[in-house]
């Protein structure tokens, strides 16, 4: 499908391409929806094999940001940028200067941030050329502990829904991937009295978690462990035809993006009476945290954490929608986001007809 046909089919507002002849920057910014506010989404730097692959990624990620921001109750839309290049070898001051100037041409319709392959240092360069950047050094800081806190609150909501009480004390939780988020999640769970089992490809990661009191299991065993909660905190696509049959958990709730290989795997989980906490609701804490850099008074950690804590209520609302409408939890999360956008659009039409 061509770019314009994809935009039409999935309701994208704008896709902008940029080539800078000085630095060699090749970048794409995709803006999916700005009904709720400017489109916030990170800039990913990746050695894409083709422009098509980069575009597909930008479009997919931008749309995901619309849903995440809407579900988190933020007044932000969804967008994403990609830079085609190898972050280990192709970075330069000129490249990020060009990217900053490119962002500036959109006059605030798109706000950029860190993502895979980009760092706070890169954001600091971009900041010299546009106001529309967050995730700077010395501001909201490392998002991972905050994402982990949101995931912890999501687990409490799941426990409340399934077991009737939110306490995680004594619950058995299996965490797949104890990297940035998984480590902080393990820490909070252990402090709350949960029994935590962890697996990771790297022993330095599991050793770090073991020092906290977590029990280490082989990577391949995560799906076969009988447990209360399975927490995917590594890569996407882990819930698939093979693993869904193996899972022996009551709840799937983790930070990884795109946990379901395909939408139909949500139904398969439901058929096995496993509660699925939609990933973009569970892992919205990092986005909430960085969005507080845009608050009028500047970033305030306490306020950001208070908002992240509300992931608990958002998730219970998702479960309620699913129950009332007889739909799956993943679909219910989509409906929650879409309805917030639809209502805002209608009110914009009434009260801001010229906007
Ligand atoms: P990370 O790279 O620091 O950690 C991921 C860990 O998973 C690594 O330690 C890796 O070795 C391990 N891993 C990979 N494949 C594995 C496998 N098959 N079995 C066991 N372990 C495996 O990443 P992160 O920042 O902790 O993010 C984790 C997930 O959460 C990612 O999917 C990310 O997109 C998502 N996420 C993160 C944030 C954040 O604030 N960091 C925010 C939103 C979503």
Q: Within 6 Å (CB) of ligand 1, which residues are found? A: 143-144, 147, 176-177, 179-182, 199-202, 205, 219, 233-235, 255-257, 283, 286
Could you tell me if 266 and 329 are in contact, meaning their C-beta atoms sit under 8 angstroms apart?
A: yes
Q: Please determine, for residue 353, whether its predicted confidence score (pLDDT) is greater than 80.
A: no
Q: Looking at the domain covering 3-63+77-127, what would its CATH class be?
A: alpha beta
Atom of ligand 1 nearest to the CA of 182: 26
Here the tokens at position 189 are: 């769970």
Q: What is the pLDDT of residue 7?
A: 85
Q: How many degrees, rounded to 5, is the angle at CA 62 between CA 288 and CA 21?
A: 115
Q: What does the pLDDT read at residue 355?
A: 64
Strand 26-33 with 77-84, pairing: antiparallel
> What are the C-alpha distances in Å from 321 to residues 55, 315, 337?
33, 10, 12
DSSP, collapsed to helix, strand or coil, labels residue 212 as helix
Task: Output the CA 73–ligand 1 centroid distance in Å.
Answer: 25
Edge-to-edge strand order for the sheet containing 195-199?
215-216, 195-199, 172-176, 226-232, 248-252, 275-276
Average pLDDT, integer, range 13-42:
97
Q: How far is the CA of 171 from the centre of ligand 1 (A)?
A: 22
* Closest of 268, 252, 236, 283 to residue 174, by C-alpha: 252
Strand ranges (E), 87-204 = 110-111, 172-176, 195-199
Q: How far is CA 164 from CA 98, 151, 155, 173, in A?
A: 53, 19, 13, 17
Say what the pLDDT of residue 193 is: 98
The pLDDT, as a whole number, for residue 265 is 95
Express each pLDDT in 201-241 by its tens digit: 999 999 999 999 999 999 999 999 999 999 999 988 999 99
Q: What mean pLDDT comes out for the span 235-252?
A: 96
User: Distance, CA 13 to ligand 1 centroid (Å)?
Assistant: 31
- What pLDDT is attached to residue 142? 87
Whether 144-285+311-339 and 3-63+77-127 are alike in CATH topology: the answer is yes
Say which CATH class 144-285+311-339 falls into. Answer: alpha beta
Q: Which of 68, 80, 127, 172 is catalytic?
A: 80
pLDDT in tens, 264-296: 999 999 999 999 999 999 999 999 999 999 998
H-run or E-run covering 187: helix 180-191
Q: What element of type H or E holds 151?
A: helix 144-163
Domain ranges for the chain, please list them: 3-63+77-127, 144-285+311-339
Q: Whose CA is nearest to atom 2 of ligand 1?
A: 179
Q: For the chain, how many helices (H) and strands (E)?
A: 14, 12
**Average pLDDT for 315-321:** 98
pLDDT in tens, 141-167: 889 999 999 999 999 999 999 999 999
pLDDT of 116 higher than 70: yes
Query: Above 80 in pLDDT, residue 122?
Result: yes
């Amino acid at each position: 499908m061509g770019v314009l046909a994809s935009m039409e089919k999935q309701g994208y507002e704008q896709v902008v391409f940029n080539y800078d002849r000085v630095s060699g920057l090749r970048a794409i910014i995709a803006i999916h929806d700005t009904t709720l506010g400017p489109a916030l989404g990170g800039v990913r730097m990746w050695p894409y094999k083709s422009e098509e692959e980069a575009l597909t990624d930008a479009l997919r990620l931008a749309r995901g940001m619309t849903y995440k921001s809407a579900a988190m109750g933020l007044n932000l839309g969804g967008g994403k940028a990609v830079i085609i290049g190898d972050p280990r070898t192709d970075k330069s001051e000129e490249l990020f200067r060009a990217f900053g100037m490119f962002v500036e041409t959109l006059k605030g319709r798109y706000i950029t941030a860190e993502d895979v392959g980009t760092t706070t240092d890169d954001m600091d360069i971009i900041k010299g050329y546009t106001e529309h950047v967050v995730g700077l050094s010395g501001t909201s800081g490392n998002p991972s502990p905050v994402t982990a806190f949101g995931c912890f609150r999501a687990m409490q909501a799941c426990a409340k829904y399934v077991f009737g009480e939110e306490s995680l004390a004594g619950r058995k939780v299996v965490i797949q991937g104890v990297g940035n988020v998984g480590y902080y999640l393990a820490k909070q769970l252990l402090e709350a009295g949960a029994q935590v089992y962890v697996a990771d490809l790297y022993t330095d990661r599991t050793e770090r978690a073991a020092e906290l009191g977590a029990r280490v299991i082989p990577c391949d065993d995560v799906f076969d462990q009988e447990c209360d909660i399975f927490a995917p905190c590594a890569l996407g696509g882990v819930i698939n035809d093979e693993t869904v049959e193996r899972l022996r958990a009551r709840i799937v709730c983790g930070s990884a993006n795109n946990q379901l290989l395909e939408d139909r795997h949500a139904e398969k989980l439901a058929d096995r009476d496993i509660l699925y906490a939609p990933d973009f609701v569970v892992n919205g804490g990092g986005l909430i945290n960085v969005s507080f850099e845009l608050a009028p008074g500047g970033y305030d950690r306490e306020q950001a954490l208070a908002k992240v804590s509300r992931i608990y209520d958002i998730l219970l609302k998702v479960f309620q929608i699913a129950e009332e409408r007889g739909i799956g939890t993943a679909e219910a999360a989509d409906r929650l986001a879409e309805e917030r956008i639809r209502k805002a659009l209608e009110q914009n039409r009434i009260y801001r007809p010229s906007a």
